[in-house]
Amino acid sequence: MSILAEKAAAIGRRVVDALLPQDCLLCCAPAGGALLCSDCHGELPPLPASRCPRCAQPAPGGEVCGRCQRHPPHFDALLALHPYAFPVDRLIQQLKYGHQLAIAAHFGNALAAACRDLGADLVVPMPLHPQRLAERGFNQALEIARPLARLSGVAFAADACVRQRATVPQEGLSLRQRRRNLRRAFACGTDFGGRHLLLVDDVATTGASVDECARTLKLHGAGRVSVAVVARTLLD
């Protein structure tokens, strides 16, 4: 984003703050036009400073962890804003099940700043199966990815990848079961021609879903796949 555009956006935010004051989504204190008040925003939990650049799990010295050395994922890097813990988990649940789409915009803006130097060529949201999309009414990954792409100035490919097979819920499954459940779940009709793709989702739990999607993207010509998520579930 240009300096002029950033100034215009800042002015726009101040106007919204003045005209549309709102309460913090977490503590109900006045938050101006923001989703969270400054205190709650400052208390969102950070990821460990030393973490694996490949999977974002804690790793001594920030080196590639042993798990990724033994079994490299199909994605090349994973970037997350927060651990999947309170109150980030509550915000994501309010987005997905409470239809609070302002939360998606908030996190999309934050991811745009975090992904500024990745050098991606194309932003791709993690797809939902049509049945799940009909039930929920929206794809939370797409709603996060849209402002990320706009603020980053990166092309947005909303339908570059589709979920062609409905899978059983991943909760309660082991990593091996999750991988088997997701096999051939995704499909692409695009040749990505060696481009660097940024795959966006709300949460990476075991990483099985983004890994299988990244595998599919690379089978269709992606040269590099980086993953950006709002939250990462950390291993005990």
139-188 tens-digit pLDDT: 999 999 999 999 999 999 999 999 987 665 556 556 666 666 667 788 99
Number of domains in the chain: 2
CA distance 202 to 143: 10
**34 and 57 in one domain?**
no
- pLDDT for 11 equals 45
Residues 140 and 202 sit within 8 Å (Cβ to Cβ): yes
Residue 126: HSE in the Cβ half-sphere, 13 Å Cα cutoff? 25
In a domain, 114, yes or no: yes
Q: Is the pLDDT confidence value at 97 over 80?
A: yes
- The domain in which residue 75 lies consists of 53-170+177-232
**110 and 80 in one domain?**
yes
**161 and 80 in one domain?**
yes
**87 and 63 in one domain?**
yes
185-217 tens-digit pLDDT: 889 989 999 999 999 999 999 999 999 999 999
- pLDDT for 226 equals 98
**159 and 64 in one domain?**
yes
22-67 tens-digit pLDDT: 788 889 898 877 888 989 988 999 999 999 999 999 999 999 999 9
**115 and 28 in one domain?**
no
Of residues 223, 226, 208, the one with CA closest to residue 124: 226
**111 and 32 in one domain?**
no
**9 and 112 in one domain?**
no
Q: Is the pLDDT confidence value at 14 over 90?
A: no
**39 and 74 in one domain?**
no
Q: Which residues contact 209 (CB under 8 A, 6 or more apart)?
A: 126, 170, 178, 182, 201
**205 and 92 in one domain?**
yes
**59 and 37 in one domain?**
no
In a domain, 48, yes or no: no
CATH number of the structural domain spanning residue 87: 3.40.50
Give the residue with greater pLDDT, 77 vs 173.
Answer: 77
